[in-house]
Amino acid sequence: MKQDRKRGTNSSAERSSSLKNARVLVVGDAMLDRYWYGEVDRISPEAPVPIVKIDPQKEDERPGGAANVACNAAALGAQVTLLSVVGMDEPGSRLETLLQRRGVHAQLHHDRSIRTTVKLRVVARHQQLLRVDFETPPSHEVLASKLRDFGRMLGQVDVVILSDYGKGGLKNIAEMISMARRAGKMVLVDPKGEDYSRYRGATLITPNRSEFRQVAGSWKSENELTGRAQQLRRKLEAKALLITRGDEGMTLFQDVGRFHVAAQAREVFDVSGAGDTVIATLGVALASGMRMKEAVKLANRAGGIVVGKLGTAVVTPKELFG
């Protein structure tokens, strides 16, 4: 028994160590997540809304969007570069500082014409009361410059993760996918919106349950789900389609069929950012040489851990393999 436990420990250490060889490029809509915490003890006399007294000692800032994907990959030990666009403003500078602290090589293009995307959440008693978004699409000139950098970086990475939050940072995503595939790189896409045609040729596309339903329609049985998923996958010429299904787990669709992983049995505290953790873990696992099904199992475990944390968060190798 002691020998078995020792082998298991070594195996976990080896798996954790192998992730450090992964070289991942994350491209997409980076943003700054800000949290203001306070207390509510009365309703405003001006309108039927709660008055939140903010505690300045409890304000928090975290990388969000594609920046959160990059931080999740870095937390697993991978060598991570983030290519994105921010404004010439305080939130952009703050985001760059946070990324550096988390071990992410931030290749950020600064656009004077925009504001860095910020999601401001007001929280009281562990409940989000309000979210305020600040955002402006990047200019054409900055996106063109980013695309040139993307082409130069491809030779230095194993996997590309394209994190689409619909903020305009991936306007050239179809061209990016083509460039990456010509370079022989795996391309993972976290999609957004109803037009998936621009993701054609990606290695793996990871819609959640509602995103997939929006594009492919609803289903009444697992057989119908499989049919719709395989039809979409073939239409997009993708090697794999992974649908994250919340409490129903994850289902992977490939040429060889489907592979389902049940959800991790744990209390769900906050699902925000869980998709970022899933695709980051997938990217790092595949870049380290792991097979697709094993990578999905690992990503499912990571997603189950991160939903037990408040706000956008990361998973460490100790949590994942411990």
Q: Burial of 33 by CB count in 10 Å (0-12 exposed, 13-18 middle, 19+ buried)?
A: buried
Which amino acid type is present at position 141? E
How many other C-beta atoms can be found within 10 angstroms of the C-beta atom of residue 226? 15
Q: Catalytic amino acids?
A: 276
The Cα–Cα gap between 102 and 99 comes to: 5
Q: Which two tokens stand for residue 88?
A: 């010439």
The Cα–Cα gap between 272 and 265 comes to: 18
Q: Which two tokens stand for residue 21?
A: 């060889």
Q: Is 65 left (phi over 0), alpha (psi -120 to 50) or beta?
A: left
Helices (H) and strands (E) in the chain, counts: 10, 14
Closest CA to 163 of 43, 315, 276: 276
Quick one: DSSP state of residue 167? Answer: S
The runs of H, that is alpha helices, within the chain are 2-18, 66-75, 90-101, 140-153, 173-182, 209-216, 222-235, 274-287, 292-306, 317-321
In angstroms, the Cα distances linking 67 to 32, 36, 74, 166, 310 are: 8, 20, 11, 14, 17
Q: Which two tokens stand for residue 299?
A: 């990503």
In angstroms, the Cα distances linking 226 to 16, 245, 256 are: 33, 13, 12
**Sign of the CA dihedral running 186, 27, 105, 141:** positive
